[in-house]
Amino acid sequence: MEILSPEEIVESFKTALGASFVNAKIYQREVAVKKNLFQSIWIYVKRDAFRQAVEHICKLQEYPHLAVISSSDLGDSVELIYHFTIYYGHHLKELSLGLCLNLPKNDLKIPTITDIIPGALFTERETQEMMGVEVVGIPDNRRLFLPEDFPEGVYPWRKDEKGPYDMLRVLPGREKK
């Protein structure tokens, strides 16, 4: 496995994905007394080439480290970011890679990556129950953190009308918001 620089990694993504590659950003900063360089890459892709992008990361390093899948509600769309870390252990050459996707709210579906990375099951289940994004082909469809009698259709991380506003606890002496 050879260690590439961030610009070379971005070029390899452009040639592998072609038209579905939207944008890329490289963020650099000097840290601490010795002014070492801390680098991270953010890559914006479209949904149809998403699985190809994850397989391309597995070509850069044989077992990349998926930390978490974070999601945020942006009004009309939901942005999902898959946080990877590659080249762990090589001094001063570690990189954080963020794979960013933008899903429109009337079509919230995304394919699963548990056949490439089996450990992504927990964080995909959490995204599914907390944000309402449907993960197509997930092996285990149960709820993870919420209790079973939590009502359907209420998603705690949303900011629109499907948020948990009815389930909030009202302190004694105050009114409901």
Partner 1 sequence: MSLKALKRALWIYHINTGSCNGCDIEILAALTPRYDVERFGMMLVGSPRHADVLVVTGPVARQMVSRLKRVYEQTPDPKVVIVVGSCGSEGGVFYESYNLVGPVDQHIPVDIYVPGCPPRPEAIIEAVTKAWVKLEKAEQKVT
Query: Would you say 22 or 144 has its CB closer to partner 1?
Result: 144
Residue nearer to partner 1 on the CB measure, 65 or 158 = 158
Query: CA 95 to CA 40: how far, in whole Å?
Result: 6
Q: What is the rounded CA–CA span in Å between residue 84 and residue 32?
A: 24
CB 153 → partner 1: shortest distance, Å? 14
Query: Which residues fall within 8 angstroms of residue 63, CB to CB, at 6 or more apart?
Result: none
Q: Which C-beta is closer to partner 1: that of 118 or that of 173?
A: 173
Name the residue with tokens 């007394």: 33
Per CB under 8 A, the list member of 62, 142, 169, 173 interacting with partner 1 is: 169
Min. distance of Cβ 134 from partner 1 in angstroms? Answer: 22
Q: What is the DSSP letter of 138?
A: -
Which residues in 109-168 contact partner 1 (CB under 8 A)?
146-147, 149-150, 156, 164, 167-168
Residue 123 sits at φ, ψ, to 5 deg, of -75, -25
Q: Is 62 in the site for partner 1 (CB under 8 A)?
A: no
CB 124 within 8 A of CB 69: yes
Binding site for partner 1 (CB under 8 A): 146-147, 149-150, 156, 164, 167-169, 171
